[in-house]
């Protein structure tokens, strides 16, 4: 006790003798985000499921680059999040090569069977594609996408990249929180192969339960051994095609064998000094860029973050950009698409003049939107990787709607997507169904750059994606947010194309929502972090300091994980 008193006395004397001119301690700033960014001199993987992030980080530690890590992480998400992606779906990616500064874009979206046409469906008295029927299944492009990325820029064989996913498929993984919530779709329980694959023994996996998928492990082993041909030109292909034909599909072995992904030129625009990249049609990325062009005509930063004025402009810009996208976008191999005109600053200025700051528009032109365009296909994953050299991968992969069709071929271990449900069956439109045609796609990866800063980012969620991309860019550019805060701040989404309906997270102040309602917006408030807003990840490279940063969305089981340095 005496020692304690003496210590306190000594401290008191010391403070009393401190110079009067000593500066006050600098206050710690208030925290304005829920998670911290990951910051590292080494690579980082940001994926929507922590085992996927870990798998990618381990590949970086083994000497792989950003491409290698992205493939490993994506293979793991197909196992741990089959309700949103897998090797039965499609893939798009942007790759930024740090040493050259070049941006590469890959479209690995699959095509329809050659025999599947509007005329064929009419002969079967089908006037609408069943979203969980076999005609919604286009040839999946994910595995071909992995192969194209690995061959051009990767450094490791499939046997190494798919190893983590194979291990967990065969040995099992513990069901995480978000996965346990999303695992089973009651609407798909009667789909062939679905219950046997995802609800073994008739029991739905719960939080903490161990889930195994040895059939998927075997499919991945075949790909690891034989490459892409295992999926498109082998005994596995024969089994997949036989199954699809048994369900009434027109798929043939040639439809799989002849499919190839396509390296394309990324499209871009500038937004207040930043250059923002998206993939060209048949994706919806042009809508994100068009929306930014329209927003650039308004002083968004002066309005204030998530203010009524800023949100009003963004929502109205969304309607205008999506109306143009819906009218003009399809597969460019079948239809000429006026991308340059759609992205012109002159058009954006004219579209911006159509926005009234006092009243929401419930109908914008052009508005020739098919019923299929309002389908809610939001089952997608997005991930991004950056390696120690600053190479960045922005990758998105999807089943379209939950588990896609839910159809699982015997012994395959994965469900087929339903991307073909997005086709229009009206003749003469850009997105009209035809043989070997790719549908209008919702999934889009993105990339943005200014001076020494490069950011790979994306936010999944069906037609939510372009509007979410624009909000992310505004958060970074107009409001100076870091990539973590830009992801987790409250968002809005408008799932429909026409009307004044819009959904918002409850984190947007009630006073702001009331003012927007006064302007004519019909708002649905969603509490907490809502899955309706999609979820995303982002990585950032600072070339000047050679430091990487990453953020992960709290709306799923996401994590950003850094690469560990070599340990002697």
Closest by CA position to 455, among listed 281, 285, 274: 274
Q: Tell the residue number behind the tokens 């302007």, with chain if given.
A: 519
**Phi, psi angles (nearest 5°) of residue 256:** -80, -50
Closest by CA position to 417, among listed 105, 108, 46, 70: 108
Closest by CA position to 539, among listed 560, 519, 568: 560
Integer Cα distance of 541 and 387 in angstroms: 9
Integer Cα distance of 198 and 207 in angstroms: 14
Produce one character per residue of 400-434: b if its CB has 16 or more CB atoms within 10 Å, e if not. bbbbbbbbbbeebbbbbbbbbbbbbbeeebbbbbb
Integer Cα distance of 97 and 106 in angstroms: 14
Q: Which two tokens stand for residue 179?
A: 């996965």
Strand 522-526 versus strand 501-505 pairing type: parallel
Decide if 77 is catalytic. Answer: no
Closest by CA position to 497, among listed 466, 536, 531: 466
> Does 169 sit behind a cis peptide bond, omega within 30 degrees of 0 on the bond before it?
no
Integer Cα distance of 550 and 544 in angstroms: 17
Integer Cα distance of 6 and 392 in angstroms: 58
Task: Name the catalytic one among 77, 112, 138, 380.
Answer: 380
Q: Check if the beta carbon of residue 386 is closer than 8 Å to that of residue 175.
A: no
Within 10 A of 9 (CB to CB), how many other CB atoms are there? 10
- Sign of the C-alpha dihedral, residues 30, 31, 32, 37? positive
SS3 for 36-97 is CCEEECCCEEEECCHHHHHHHHHHHHCCCCHHHHHHHHHHHHHHHCCCCCCCCCEEEEEEEE
**Phi, psi angles (nearest 5°) of residue 480:** 65, 25
Q: Check if the beta carbon of residue 148 is closer than 8 Å to that of residue 109.
A: no
Sheet containing strand 90-97, edge to edge, reads: 262-264, 102-108, 90-97, 392-400, 379-386, 44-47, 559-562
Positions marked active-site = 380
């Amino acid at each position: 006790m005496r020692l304690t008193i003496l210590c306190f006395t000594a401290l008191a004397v010391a403070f009393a003798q401190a110079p009067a001119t000593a500066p006050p301690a600098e206050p710690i700033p208030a925290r304005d985000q829920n998670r911290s960014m990951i910051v590292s001199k080494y690579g980082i993987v940001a994926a929507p499921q922590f085992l996927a992030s870990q798998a990618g980080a381990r590949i970086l530690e083994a000497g792989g680059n950003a491409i290698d890590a992205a493939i490993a992480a994506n293979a793991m998400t197909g196992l741990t999040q089959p309700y949103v992606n897998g090797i039965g779906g499609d893939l798009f990616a942007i790759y930024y090569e740090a040493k050259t500064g070049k941006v590469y874009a890959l479209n690995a979206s699959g095509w329809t069977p050659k025999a599947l046409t509007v005329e064929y469906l009419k002969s079967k008295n089908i006037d609408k594609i069943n979203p969980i029927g076999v005609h919604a299944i286009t040839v999946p492009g994910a595995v071909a996408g992995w192969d194209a990325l690995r061959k051009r820029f990767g450094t490791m064989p499939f046997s190494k990249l798919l190893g983590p996913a194979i291990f967990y498929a065969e040995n099992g993984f513990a069901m995480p929180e978000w996965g346990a919530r999303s695992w089973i779709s009651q609407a798909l329980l009667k789909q062939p192969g679905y219950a046997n694959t995802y609800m073994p023994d008739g029991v739905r996996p719960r939080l903490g339960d161990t889930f195994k998928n040895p059939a998927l492990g075997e499919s991945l082993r075949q790909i690891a051994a034989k490459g892409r041909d295992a999926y498109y030109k082998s005994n596995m292909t024969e089994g997949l095609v036989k199954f699809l034909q048994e369900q009434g599909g027109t798929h043939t072995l040639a439809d799989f064998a002849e499919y190839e992904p396509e390296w394309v030129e990324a499209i871009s625009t500038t937004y207040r000094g930043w250059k923002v990249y998206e993939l060209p049609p048949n994706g919806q990325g042009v809508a994100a860029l068009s929306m930014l062009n329209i927003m650039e005509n308004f002083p968004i930063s002066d309005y204030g973050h998530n203010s009524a004025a800023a949100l009003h402009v963004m929502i109205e810009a969304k309607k205008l950009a999506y109306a143009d996208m819906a009218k003009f976008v399809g597969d460019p191999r079948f239809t000429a698409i006026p991308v340059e005109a759609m992205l012109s600053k002159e058009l954006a200025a004219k579209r911006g003049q159509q926005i009234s700051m006092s009243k929401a528009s419930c109908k914008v032109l052009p508005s020739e939107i098919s019923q299929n365009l309002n389908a809610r296909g939001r089952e997608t994953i997005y991930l991004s990787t950056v390696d120690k050299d600053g190479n960045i991968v922005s990758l998105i992969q999807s089943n379209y709607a939950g588990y896609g069709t839910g159809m699982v071929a015997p012994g395959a271990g994965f469900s087929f997507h339903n991307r073909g449900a997005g086709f229009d069956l009206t003749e003469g439109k850009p997105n009209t169904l035809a043989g070997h045609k790719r549908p209008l796609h919702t999934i889009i990866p993105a990339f943005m750059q200014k001076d020494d800063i490069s950011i790979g980012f994306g936010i999944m969620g069906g037609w939510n994606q372009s509007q979410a991309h624009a909000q992310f860019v505004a958060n970074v550019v107009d409001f100076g947010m870091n990539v973590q805060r830009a992801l987790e701040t409250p968002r809005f989404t408008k799932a429909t194309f026409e009307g004044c309906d819009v959904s918002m997270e409850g984190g947007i102040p009630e006073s702001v929502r009331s003012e927007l309602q006064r302007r004519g917006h019909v708002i649905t408030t969603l509490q907490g972090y809502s899955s309706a807003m999609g979820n995303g990840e982002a990585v950032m490279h600072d070339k000047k300091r050679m430091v990487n940063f990453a953020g992960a969305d709290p709306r799923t089981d996401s994590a950003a994980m850094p690469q560990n340095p070599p340990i002697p």
